[in-house]
Structure 1
Amino acid sequence: MQQNVIDTVSAMTAALERGDIDTVMSFYVDDAVVAFQPGAPVRGQEQLRAGFAAFAAVQPDFRYDHGHEVMITGETAVHIAPWTMSGTAPDGTPITQSGLSVATLRHQIDDSWKIVLDNPFGARLIPDQDQA
C-alpha cells in the first residue's frame, strides 16, 4: 500500500510537469486544500486549477532525491518527501525551489488514493505565540 501512495504522488507530479492540469486535478478529492505558497492554503476547483496552471507555466522539473516516508492507518495515508524543483520564469530567468512535501491522502472505493491536503512547504512552521 505504501508504494501505491508513492505512485499516486509521482503520477500527479509527472502530470504537473507535463502541464496536464485535468490529470493533476484527478488525483485530488473535490474539497482538497493545497498550499501553493507557504502559509496560504487554498481550496476549490477554480483556485486549485489556477495554482497548478501557475506551477506548470514554469515548466517544472521536480525531484524527490531523498526518498519518501509513508504512514497509513485505515483509509488515510500521510506522504512526506523532500523535493527540489527547477524551472524557467516567463521572462526566462531560471527558478529553483525546494521544500518538504507533506500530503494526506484518502483511500478510494476503486482502490486508488486521492490527495486531500497538500503542503509542499511542510517544513514551514507557524511561530509559537509565546515567541511571536
Structure 2
Amino acid sequence: MENAQIKAVIEANNAAVGAGDMDAILATFEQNGVLVGQLGMTAQGSPALREAFAGFMAINPQISVHSHEIIQADDIALHSSTWTMRGQTPDGHPIEENGFSTVVLRRQNNGEWLMVIDNPFGNHLVEQA
C-alpha cells in the first residue's frame, strides 16, 4: 500500500511535468523541497522549484520511468528508478536522455507522501568512475 502511494507521487510529478502543470508539480514536493535541476545545481523551496521547472518545461519533456525500487524506513522513503526523457529544443531539435533517479520522500502528518529531494542525475558518479 505504501509503495503504491509513493510510486503514485513520482508518477504524478512526471505527468505534471509533461503537462506543464506547475501547481501540480509543486504539490508533489514539501514546501522546502530540493531539486537537482542540473548536475551540481540545486533549487530549494517553491519559488526556486518553480523557476527550475519552468526552464525544464521549455523543452516539453515527456518522462518514462522504466523501473521502480522503493526502500522505506518509517516515515522516510527512498525511490530509485531508471528513466528516459524525450523533448525538443526551442528550435525543434529532438532531445533524448536516460538516467537513474533518486528521490527521498517523507510521509506527512496526514499520511500523504511528498518529495523532499529529487535527484534525476543519480547516475553521474557511475559515469565518472
User: TM-score normalized by structure 2?
Assistant: 0.92
SS in structure 1 of the partner of residue 124 of structure 2: coil
CA-to-aligned-CA distance 1:5-51 (integer Å, 9 cap, x gap): 01110011101100000110011011111101112222132221011
Query: Shift of the alpha carbon at 1:125?
Result: 2.4
User: TM-score normalized by structure 1?
Assistant: 0.90
Q: Which structure's CA Rg is the greater one?
A: 1
Query: Shift of the alpha carbon at 1:55?
Result: 1.6
Alignment of 1:88-99 (within 5 A): 88-99=88-99
Q: Give the counterpart letter for 2:58 in structure 1.
A: A
SS in structure 2 of the partner of residue 110 of structure 1: coil
SS in structure 2 of the partner of residue 68 of structure 1: strand
Unaligned runs of 5+ in 2: none
- Give the fraction of aligned pairs with identical amino acids, expressed as a percent: 34
Q: Give the counterpart letter for 1:57 in structure 2.
A: A
Which runs of 4 or more aligned residues in structure 1 lie more than 6 Å from their structure 2 counterparts after TM superposition?
Answer: none
Unaligned runs of 5+ in 1: 127-132
SS in structure 2 of the partner of residue 53 of structure 1: helix
2-side partners of 1:97 and 1:124: how far apart?
Answer: 13
Partner in structure 2 of residue 86 of structure 1: 86
Alignment of 1:32-111 (within 5 A): 32-65=33-66, 67-111=67-111
Contact 2:17/2:62 (CA < 8 Å) preserved in 1? Answer: no
Deviating more after overlay: 85-94 vs 41-50: 41-50
Q: Which has the higher strand share?
A: 2
Report the RMSD for the aligned CA atoms in angstroms: 1.3
Between Structure 1 and Structure 2, how many residues are aligned? 125
Partner in structure 1 of residue 118 of structure 2: 118
Partner in structure 2 of residue 28 of structure 1: 29
